[in-house]
Amino acid sequence: MRECIVLRPVLKETVWGGDRLATQFDCGRKQCAAGAEKIDFTSIGESWIVSAHPHGDCIIEEGTYAGETLSGLYKKHPELFGNLPYEEFPLLLKIIDAKSNLSIQVHPDDAYAREKEGCPFGKTECWYVMDCPEDAQLIIGHHAKTREELTRMVRENRYEELICRVPVKKGDFIQIEPGTIHAITGGMLLMETQQNSDITYRVYDYGRLVDGKPRQLHVEQSLEVIKVPDNAGRDGLIHTENGESAARINERKLLVDCTYYKVWKLTTGGTFTMEQSDPFLIATVLEGSGSIDGREMTCGDSLLFPTGYGDICFSGDMTLLLCTAN
């Protein structure tokens, strides 16, 4: 039986971030205690809870590999990750606190990222709504019927006509494919599972100023990669807390199985044991508290279980997302 891997999250200060990640989650409180005085803890937009990306490479906190980075461990010991064919660790997991709206944006696919950015991965991602305001909406997809219409509406800044606003509630889940226009709106708390990429093309940013200057936009790249038509917002939303997608207690419910990852939702009650049979498995607590193999866990905590770990024992009342790479 191999040991689980405990990672130190990386907090990201953003113009649209809030204070929940620094005050309500252990990941933020640990960073505060570590004296990261250069970070404004009232403007933390993202906690990269599992990341091997150069912009935020998580450090292993304890055990045999304490002090190593996740990227370094993946390259030195590929056997811990099922000897996956990827040159770099393939996933990046975040918790996102959007105090205000994010830009309207789009991500490229692998081919475009390699050709234009020199990066191995584009960005396919998915969101799980941890919390949101009443009558919340996400921006997902657009109304343009042709690429000519899309280009005209973008050039004329007719974004309210272009975008699709999708009503969402706590527990909703949606896959965001490359080429999909999207934006997280103010008041949302999300968990994001994505490819290991940090490529974002901003289409529109509401005229927002940072240090007196508009944020950089990437209109030309966006127009090259946006899909037409795009019905993602109308077709892809899953309600995980009721209906056919709701899972019974102590049952893993598959939410997505795509080219790059699988994601399950698990709600535990009492004690539940499952075998770790994937290349690796990441378990993140979204709500509640309990323990995993005797380790106390609360909201925002995450563990990575390598290949050959054996059985995992969950105890307590928790809602978790589980994920692995394909």
Residue 290 backbone phi and psi in degrees, to 5:
170, -145
202 is catalytic: yes
19 to 196, 262, 268: CA distances (angstroms): 25, 30, 28
Residue 8 backbone phi and psi in degrees, to 5:
-90, 115
Q: Which of 152, 202, 215, 248 is catalytic?
A: 202
Name the token pair of 26: 């252990």
122 to 7, 69, 96, 303: CA distances (angstroms): 24, 22, 20, 25
Using CA atoms of 199, 11, 312, 84 in order, give the dihedral in degrees to the nearest 10. Answer: 30
Query: What is the b/e burial string over 187-200, where b = at least 16 CB atoms within 10 angstroms of the residue's CB?
Result: bbbbbbbbbbbbbe
Mind telling me the catalytic residues? 202
